[in-house]
């Protein structure tokens, strides 16, 4: 048998392994038709008596068949390479978006939907990566689309939590509270505390000058404003220390005068409008305490014990404690979220 016929058969197998029917079904059908025609011509030539056989035309025919098949195989490999590159680039984009969202939301606890969707996105991405390597591009594309859907849902959940931090009126209120507290510290020459919930920071001022900054932890729904007992939110407002506990359940603690008049007014309004359970009380006993910034509180502000030592030692009954969400939309977390949404 002419070697060209065998080479054409080997090429046909290579085309099948390359998944030719997925990329160029019509062209492959034409190749197969030519190959079958060549095989029939070869069979007729082989059926002739030895002296009368002439494989020249058949060899030339198989050369042409092989050449067309080689062109088709090269085309398929380029298509596959291009598709793999596009999918790999899409995978990289999705993976980076997951990393960005995790970085932005790891610090806050109101993240049930965020965590759930990011986990689903990561599972889909892991499966997609394996399928890209296996050249199963259709399934990997579907998984990448599934991953993006979960990423969008995670971003929407994060935005829902952070939305009020972008509200200009709310920001102005927080800015005013913080400025008034620093001003009081300066005018009276006293210690004052400002807690920034979004950035997870507690700042201490003496005579209006920043003298200490500490990382803090909040409750499960710490970024929300506290409305009633059991909501596990951290209140926002201007308070004062009303009692110091040198030995509390959480190391040392500073009790603040929550609820104040503004808190009680907000509670009454929310209850009247049916925004909180009818049987819920307003709650109280909100502290700045030790025990570690990573231990979830029920609405209090947690610090590492060594930091609590410093804060406890600087403060006294009557020390102003102001708790705000944020004071600027230029906050790095909000800026990252806005960029994420713009490029999503």
pLDDT, tens digit (0-9, with 9 covering 90-100), for 66-94: 999 999 999 988 988 899 999 999 999 99
Residue 268 counted as domain residue: yes
On whether both 180 and 329 belong to a single domain, the answer is yes
On whether both 152 and 171 belong to a single domain, the answer is no
Residue 151 counted as domain residue: yes
On whether both 145 and 201 belong to a single domain, the answer is no
pLDDT in tens, 244-261: 999 998 899 999 999 999
Residue 121 counted as domain residue: yes
Last residue of a domain, which of 140, 162, 184? 162
Domain count, the chain: 2
Q: How far apart are CA 307 and CA 310, in angstroms?
A: 5
Residue 343 counted as domain residue: no
On whether both 85 and 136 belong to a single domain, the answer is yes
Last residue of a domain, which of 137, 162, 187? 162
**Average pLDDT over the chain, rounded to whole?**
89
On whether both 135 and 7 belong to a single domain, the answer is yes
Residue with tokens 């991953």: 147
On whether both 48 and 123 belong to a single domain, the answer is yes
pLDDT in tens, 275-329: 888 888 988 899 999 988 776 678 899 999 999 999 999 999 999 999 999 887 6
On whether both 182 and 103 belong to a single domain, the answer is no
In order of 80, 196, 252, 295, the CA distances from 86 in angstroms are 10, 43, 56, 43
On whether both 153 and 177 belong to a single domain, the answer is no
Q: How far apart are CA 182 and CA 211, in angstroms?
A: 12
CB 236 within 8 A of CB 197: yes
Q: In this model, does residue 342 exceed pLDDT 90?
A: no
Residue 340 counted as domain residue: no
On whether both 281 and 185 belong to a single domain, the answer is yes
CB 36 within 8 A of CB 81: no
Residue 91 counted as domain residue: yes
Cβ-Cβ contacts under 8 Å for 237 (sequence gap 6 or more):
177, 258, 260, 262, 263, 322, 323
Residue 39 counted as domain residue: yes
In sign, the C-alpha dihedral spanning 298, 301, 307, 313 is: negative
Query: Domain span at residue 299?
Result: 167-334
Residue 344 counted as domain residue: no
On whether both 18 and 101 belong to a single domain, the answer is yes
On whether both 146 and 171 belong to a single domain, the answer is no
CATH number at residue 305: 2.40.440.10
pLDDT in tens, 13-40: 999 988 888 888 899 999 999 999 999 9
On whether both 183 and 318 belong to a single domain, the answer is yes
Last residue of a domain, which of 162, 193, 216? 162
């Amino acid at each position: 048998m002419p070697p060209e016929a065998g080479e054409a058969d080997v090429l046909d197998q290579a085309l099948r392994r390359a998944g030719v029917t997925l990329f160029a079904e019509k062209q492959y059908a034409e190749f197969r038709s030519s190959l079958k025609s060549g095989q029939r011509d070869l069979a007729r030539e082989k059926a002739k008596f030895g002296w009368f056989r002439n494989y020249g035309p058949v060899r030339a025919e198989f050369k042409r068949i092989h050449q067309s098949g080689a062109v088709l195989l090269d085309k398929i490999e380029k298509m596959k390479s291009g598709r793999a590159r596009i999918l790999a680039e899409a995978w990289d984009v999705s993976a980076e978006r997951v990393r960005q969202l995790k970085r932005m939301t790891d610090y806050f606890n109101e993240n049930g939907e965020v965590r759930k969707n990011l986990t689903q996105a990561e599972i889909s991405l892991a499966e997609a990566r394996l399928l890209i390597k296996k050249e199963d591009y259709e399934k990997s594309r579907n998984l990448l689309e599934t991953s993006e859907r979960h990423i969008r849902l995670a971003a929407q959940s994060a935005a829902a939590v952070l939305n009020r931090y972008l509200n200009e009126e709310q920001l102005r209120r927080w800015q005013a509270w913080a400025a008034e507290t620093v001003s009081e510290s300066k005018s009276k020459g006293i210690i004052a505390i400002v807690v920034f919930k979004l950035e997870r920071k507690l700042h201490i001022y003496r005579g209006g000058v920043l003298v200490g900054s500490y990382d803090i932890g909040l409750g499960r729904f710490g970024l929300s404003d506290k409305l009633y007992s059991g909501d596990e939110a951290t209140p926002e407002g201007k308070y004062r220390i009303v009692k110091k506990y040198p030995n509390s359940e959480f190391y040392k603690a500073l009790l603040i005068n929550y609820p104040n008049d503004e808190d009680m007014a907000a509670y009454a309004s929310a209850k009247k409008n049916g925004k909180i359970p009818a049987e819920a009380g307003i709650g109280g006993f909100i502290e700045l305490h030790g025990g570690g910034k990573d231990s979830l509180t029920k609405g209090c502000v947690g610090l590492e014990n060594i930091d609590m030592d410093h804060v406890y030692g600087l403060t006294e009954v009557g020390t102003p404690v102001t708790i705000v969400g944020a004071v600027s939309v230029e906050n790095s977390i909000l800026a990252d979220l806005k960029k994420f949404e713009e490029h999503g």
